[in-house]
Amino acid sequence: MTPTYRHFHRLAWAAVLLAFAIVVFGAFVRLSNAGLSCPDWPTCYGRATWPVHEHEVAQANAVFDRAVESSKTWREQFHRHLAATLGLLILILSLIAARRRPQGLASIGVAAALVAISIVAYIKQMYTPAATLAVSGELILLISAIRWSNNDYSRLATVTLMVVIFQAMLGMWTVTWLLKPVVVMAHLLGGMATFSLLTWMAWGSTPDTALVQGIAPKLRRLLWIGLALLVLQIALGGWTSSNYAALACGSEFPRCLGQWWPAHDFREAFVLWRGIGVDYEGGVLDGPARVAIQLAHRGMAVLVFGHLLIVAIRMITTHGLRYWGVVLAVLLCAQVALGISNVIYSLPLWVATAHTAGAALLLFVIVGLLARLRAPE
């Protein structure tokens, strides 16, 4: 595939770096319990930034039910500004990629305009028109992505723009639905999906990065399986965090509450929808349900580690792939160590944040390999 602009890959790499920073900073915001520090969206206490001065804080406290926590509000709103910047960068990539397609610029431009207007309508509490405009913009992008091929990255860039728009909607629902676990988990997956799509785009559009290997077909199958397992594990990690189940087993590892198989409740643990209006800050599940979530996360971790370690060893023994095999093996071991440290040291903020960063880096390696591996002609 050949991009239509010679600096396309540089813009894509800038977007990758920004997306990674947003994923990591978003984890920091979530794990520092700042996810509801701005009770409205996309503003923060009615401001484009956040209340800083005493009179601004007093005014915000008089209007909103949730009191301003100055140490937290900046984290949430700064994260939103970073996400908005990434959205603009992805929009630029989409316009560049689609500029030579019939009605390409018009399709992307109209869709972006509809979404922008929907945000204004939402701020003015015109919720039905806002939803209609946002869905219309997404449909235009979907139809365009289906019509276009991916020879110049127009399809991939358009799909990425669709994902980041939906990611913004998930961010809104995270606040308005009071940290609903299924939305928080989906928001994490959306961030990882955006990062992965940009990674594929950046590697694929960078000249002379293809990895031509005779074992490419078999290795790609193993990597696709590994990617699916890793995504499932990331979802379980998001579910664990959003249900406050990270310390359900206490500070013991590998045992849980002094047992190998303690009392648990898998049926209650994985109820995805519990209605709207419940405040999920702090969690609503009882002990056995949280234990079940933690056990599921640990069990899947063993499966992911085993499969990806086999892939890493296979690459280490293959000329031309040794470097990436070593990187994958090191990241796997570091991720396991961070996960165990989260339990033993009772979830230190920096360790928990690094654990999310480790998952993103594993995605970066796997997606990058899938984007570049080619069989000989």
Q: How far apart are CA 346 and CA 230, in angstroms?
A: 24
Catalytically active residues, by annotation: 76
Helix (H, G, I), strand (E, B) or coil at 259: strand
47, containing H or E segment: none
Task: Kindly tell me the burial class for residue 137, based on how many C-beta atoms sit within 10 Å of its own C-beta (0-12, 13-18, 19 or more).
Answer: buried
Question: Which residue, chain included where needed, has tokens 């991009």?
Answer: 3
Burial 227-239 (b: 16+ CB within 10 A, else e): bebbbebbbbbbb
Structure tokens at 184: 């928080």
β-strand partners of 47: 44
- Which pairs with CB-CB distance under 8 Å and at least 24 residues apart come from 253-259? 253/340, 253/343, 253/344, 254/298, 256/291, 256/294, 256/295, 257/291
The pLDDT value recorded for residue 281 is 86
Give CB contacts under 8 A, 24+ apart, made by 347-350: 347/31, 347/246, 347/247, 349/28, 349/31, 349/32
* Separation CA 22–CA 128 (nearest Å): 29
Q: At what angle do helices 322-344 and 287-316 cross, to 10 degrees?
A: 160
- Locate 233 and state its tokens: 């594990």
What does the pLDDT read at residue 60?
Answer: 93
Say what the pLDDT of residue 1 is.
59
pLDDT for the residue numbered 341 = 96
Opening angle at CA 189, ends 360 and 11, nearest 5: 60
> Count of alpha carbons within 13 Å of 223, Cβ hemisphere only?
24
**Residues in the chain with pLDDT < 70?**
1-5
Cβ pair 80, 42 in contact under 8 A = yes
Q: What is the pTM of this model?
A: 0.95
Q: Compute the distance between CA of residue 363 and CA of residue 203 in angstroms, rounded to an integer.
A: 13
Q: For position 5, what pLDDT does the model report?
A: 66
Instruction: Please enumerate in sequence order all residues whose Cβ is within 8 A of that of 10, keeping only pairs 6 or more positions apart, or say none.
Output: none
Per-residue tokens: 240: 């664990």
- What pLDDT was estimated at residue 2? 55
User: What distance lies between CA 70 and its chain's CA centroid?
Assistant: 26
Alpha-carbon span 155 to 97, nearest angstrom:
8
Q: How many whole angstroms separate alpha carbon 157 and alpha carbon 165?
A: 12
In the three-class reduction of DSSP (H, G, I as helix; E, B as strand; rest coil), residue 195 is classed as: helix
Contact assessment for residue 108 and residue 102, using Cβ atoms and an 8 Å cutoff: no
